[in-house]
């Protein structure tokens, strides 16, 4: 069934990562994907090379399988015209679906582009998540 309410549109560069975080925390894959430009590249894990053969949809779906909230802090925004580089800290923490404690965090980067109409979309990003559970 098609959702009649469109996902929110980012009007500032930093909003785009907030909207992805909220959508993922709510379990709304389509709302998260709506914040990415077609063909966007995502690398979520530290040490993982970028693989254009793995879709952003698949990677976000795998992260959402953890069923945990994604927190985000935008540390810096560097904007030139219709492009912005965001330095972002992310964290996923809690009990996973199997009851095991999960704690991963990382500082990464997001490149966003202002599209026609003023909406910002993610072009590429690297989350750089790593296990910080200490165990």
Per-residue pLDDT of 68-90, as tens digits, reads: 999 999 999 999 999 999 999 99
For the chain, percent of residues with pLDDT exceeding 70: 96
Report the distance separating Cα 37 and Cα 41, nearest Å.
9
Q: What is the pLDDT of residue 2?
A: 59
Q: Where are the alpha helices (DSSP H) in the chain?
A: 13-25, 29-33, 56-64
Work out whether strand 83-95 and strand 70-80 pair parallel, antiparallel, or are unpaired: antiparallel
DSSP state of 9: -
Q: What is the pLDDT of residue 134?
A: 77
Three-class SS state of 20: helix
Write the CATH number of the domain with boundaries 13-130: 3.10.450.50
The per-residue pLDDT for range 27-43, each reduced to its tens digit, is 999 999 999 999 999 99
Q: What is the mean pLDDT of the chain?
A: 93
More confident residue, 6 or 24: 24
Instruction: List the chain domain ranges.
Output: 13-130
pTM, full prediction: 0.92
Report the distance separating Cα 108 and Cα 72, nearest Å.
11
């Amino acid at each position: 069934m098609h959702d009649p309410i469109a996902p929110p549109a980012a009007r500032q560069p930093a909003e785009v990562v907030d909207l992805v975080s909220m959508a993922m925390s709510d379990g709304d894959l389509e709302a998260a994907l709506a914040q990415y430009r077609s063909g966007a590249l995502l690398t979520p894990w530290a040490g993982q090379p970028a693989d254009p053969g793995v879709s952003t949809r698949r990677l976000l779906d795998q992260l959402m399988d953890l069923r945990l909230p994604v927190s985000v802090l935008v540390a810096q925004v560097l904007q030139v015209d219709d492009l912005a580089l965001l330095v972002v800290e992310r964290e996923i923490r809690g009990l996973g679906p199997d009851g095991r404690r999960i704690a991963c965090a990382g500082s990464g980067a997001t490149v966003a582009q202002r599209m026609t109409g003023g909406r910002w979309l993610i072009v590429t990003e690297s989350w750089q998540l790593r296990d910080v559970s200490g165990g």
